[in-house]
Amino acid sequence: MLTRELPSQSLPCLHLEDKVYQALQLMNDNHVTHLPIVEGDKYVGIISEDDLLQAENDNSELNTLQQSFANTSVKEDEHFLKAVQLAAENGLSVVPVVNTENDLVATIAYSDLLKHASEFMSLNEPGGLIVLEMESNQYSFNEISKLVETNDAQITQLNTSNDPETGLMQVTIRINKPEVSDIVATFQRYDYTIKHYFGEELYVNELRSNYDNLMNYLKI
């Protein structure tokens, strides 16, 4: 999904002649800590609530604070995950979306981006999650997929990342089955390191453990 295809709430934009107190009020009214600034239709930059609060005069126009503007935005033809990345890396509550002429075409709240990311990764669908850890040269999607399929399951999402502390690759697998213990056991038989796993039986096992502990207590 491209950023221009995202449905989002209507958020205001600021203008260079707006006053500091007006910008703060708009942020407060819309429950955000950033807003984009335009001159005409052209995107000028984005300013934060913190920068506004440091202004010496609440009646100052925003054009006096241009040194505080951040030139941060995404193009309307970029994948929406680029907007998620930009917001996370820069601590933004909103992400401006611009076209090729640098016109502001949309402003998307970070909360909306997270909602779309959750839907994109099918996190609202039943299923399990397994995180593998390995050397990057040991990674094989075909082998991982084959081991999952031997347990009558399928991978619905797969993401890789590198742990900056260990240098090892982490492979996060979303499975279409909530019961993952058999899949975990298969990976372990093939000497894969399981860093985390989350499935329905983990919750069931915790309930069973709590029940057994209660029974043992009552026998005392």
Give the pLDDT band (50/70/90) at residue 204: very low
- The number of angstroms, rounded, from the C-alpha of 57 to the middle of its chain's C-alpha atoms is 36
> Does residue 90 belong to any structural domain of this protein?
yes
Place of tokens 């491209």: 2
Cα R_g (the chain), whole angstroms: 24
> Quick one: 154 and 183 in the same domain?
yes
- Among 49, 47, 50, 21, CA closest to 36: 47
**What domain count does the chain have?**
2
CB–CB of 194/184 below 8 Å?
Answer: yes
DSSP label of 136: G
> Does residue 214 belong to any structural domain of this protein?
no
Among candidate residues 83, 118, 153, the one where a domain is terminated: 118
Instruction: Find the CATH number of the domain harbouring 102.
Output: 3.10.580.10
> Does residue 217 belong to any structural domain of this protein?
no
**Per-residue pLDDT tens digits for 138-190:** 999 999 999 999 999 999 888 888 888 888 999 989 898 888 889 999 999 99
> Quick one: 113 and 8 in the same domain?
yes
Q: How many CB atoms lie within 10 A of CB 52?
A: 23
> Quick one: 186 and 87 in the same domain?
no
Cα 3 to Cα 20, 51, 206, distances in angstroms: 29, 27, 41
pLDDT at 122: 64
> Quick one: 134 and 192 in the same domain?
yes
> Quick one: 162 and 109 in the same domain?
no
> Quick one: 141 and 104 in the same domain?
no
- Please write down the long-range contacts of 54-58, taking CB distance under 8 Å and 24 or more positions apart: 55/20, 57/20, 58/19, 58/20, 58/21, 58/24
> Quick one: 24 and 108 in the same domain?
yes
